[in-house]
């Protein structure tokens, strides 16, 4: 399944009651997690991973209906009110959705099934223990992926690296036998930030696991390993500009400006990912002293107001730097002010604004 670009959405905590033309739905959760049920027999769940930009999304059927398969998660914004509060989903309710383990199932398989139920219920500590036990007793790739998701959600991101590395070294392909059996009512996908303001939705398989691992490598300061991993995904069905942005973001961190320029060549402003990639290119040109070229690129990055505010703020700040270096101080000050209007904590824009005001 190709990775689909999408803008990252923030999901608030608490309970909501959703109304739509064809169905009514209940959604509930806590910080970083939401599960929804609706009268059309569909379920929708998003598990954000605070502080990492990673999340997991599922859409499926409730009450015995068929899901959409493991390949393509789906999510969307909804109008919501806080007028009604639904009850927390229970293990008994989930147990009616997830198939039971057979009489001759191994202890590892039973632990895996317990982990899936706990995971859907949001009982992450219980799910983590169950998936860890299942993966230890039977080298199961999807148990490692579920285990990693639980660990990151529990803010144990460093521990999540090992199960993902083990998954990618395994010869077992996803979906494996247990994911096909117990994940059948769910549709699972991984959604993760690859740059500020930009997220991708990836399949719940080796490709998604590799992208997730690259993000964890970056957060652990193992940027070179993240670059090596992403470069190895060239034939994985990832859109070229999305992969280019993910790699460019890592090269920016290492100040490898020539690599950033190679990855961003011939890019047009078509969506958030390409706009962010143009901003990376503009920064690389600035760092190499090609200021006029940087200004042209950054103007292109700012052409559409429909882009993510985070992307527009960064591109506008960089354009301010270019104006300042070219001696166009009024334009530079204006861009710094407008950047602070979008992101009042932007350190670069603050410094630029103070510098020009002192002058």
Q: pLDDT digit string (tens) for 88-142? A: 567 787 778 888 998 899 999 999 999 998 888 888 899 999 999 999 998 888 9
261 belongs to a structural domain: no
Does one domain contain both 170 and 300? no
Does one domain contain both 172 and 32? yes
140 belongs to a structural domain: yes
Q: Domain boundary residue among 208, 242, 264?
A: 208
149 belongs to a structural domain: yes
Contact between 321 and 331 (Cβ < 8 Å)? no
pLDDT in tens, 11-60: 233 333 333 333 333 333 334 444 443 334 444 445 454 444 555 544 44
268 belongs to a structural domain: no
Q: Is the pLDDT of residue 74 over 90?
A: no
User: Which residues span the domain enclosing 187?
Assistant: 4-208
237 belongs to a structural domain: no
CB atoms within 10 A of CB 184: 18
Does one domain contain both 287 and 199? no
220 belongs to a structural domain: no
CATH of residue 306's domain is 1.25.40.10
Q: Domain boundary residue among 208, 224, 256?
A: 208
Q: Domain boundary residue among 178, 208, 238?
A: 208
pTM exceeds cut of 0.75: no
Does one domain contain both 132 and 9? yes
Burial of 166 (0-12, 13-18, 19+ CB in 10 A): middle
Please give the tally of structural domains in the chain.
2
291 belongs to a structural domain: yes
Q: 210-222 as b/e, with b when 16 or more CB fall inside 10 Å?
A: bbbbbbbbbbeeb
155 belongs to a structural domain: yes
Does one domain contain both 188 and 322? no
């Amino acid at each position: 399944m190709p990775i689909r670009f999408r803008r990252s959405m923030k999901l608030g905590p608490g309970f909501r009651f959703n109304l739509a033309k064809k169905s009514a739905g209940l959604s509930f959760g806590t910080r970083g997690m939401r599960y929804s049920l609706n009268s059309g027999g569909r379920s929708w769940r998003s598990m954000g991973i605070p502080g990492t930009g990673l999340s997991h999304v599922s859409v499926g059927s409730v009450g015995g209906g068929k899901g959409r398969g493991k390949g393509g998660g789906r999510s969307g914004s909804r109008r919501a009110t806080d007028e009604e509060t639904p009850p927390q989903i229970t293990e008994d309710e989930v147990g009616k959705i997830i198939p039971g383990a057979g009489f001759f199932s191994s202890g590892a398989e039973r632990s895996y099934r317990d982990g899936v139920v706990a995971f859907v219920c949001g009982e992450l500590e219980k799910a983590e223990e169950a998936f860890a036990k299942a993966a230890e007793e039977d080298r199961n790739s999807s148990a490692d992926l579920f285990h990693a998701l639980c660990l990151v959600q529990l803010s144990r991101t460093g521990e999540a690296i090992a199960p993902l590395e083990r998954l990618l070294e395994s010869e077992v392909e996803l979906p494996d036998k247990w994911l096909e059996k117990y994940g059948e009512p769910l549709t699972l996908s991984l959604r993760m930030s690859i740059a500020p303001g930009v997220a991708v939705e990836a399949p719940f398989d080796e490709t998604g696991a590799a992208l997730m691992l690259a993000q964890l490598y970056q957060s652990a300061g193992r940027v070179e390993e993240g670059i090596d991993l992403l470069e190895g995904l060239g034939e994985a069905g990832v859109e070229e500009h999305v992969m280019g942005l993910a790699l460019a973001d890592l090269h920016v961190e290492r100040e490898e400006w020539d690599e950033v320029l190679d990855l961003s060549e011939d890019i047009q402003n078509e969506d958030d990912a390409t706009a962010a990639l143009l901003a990376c290119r503009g920064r690389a040109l600035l760092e190499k002293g090609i200021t006029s070229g940087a200004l042209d690129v950054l103007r292109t990055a700012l052409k559409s107001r429909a882009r993510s505010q985070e992307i527009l703020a960064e591109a506008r700040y960089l354009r301010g730097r270019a104006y300042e270096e070219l001696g166009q101080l009024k334009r530079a000050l204006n861009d710094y002010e407008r950047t602070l209007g979008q992101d009042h904590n932007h350190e670069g824009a603050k410094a630029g604004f103070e510098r020009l005001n002192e002058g």
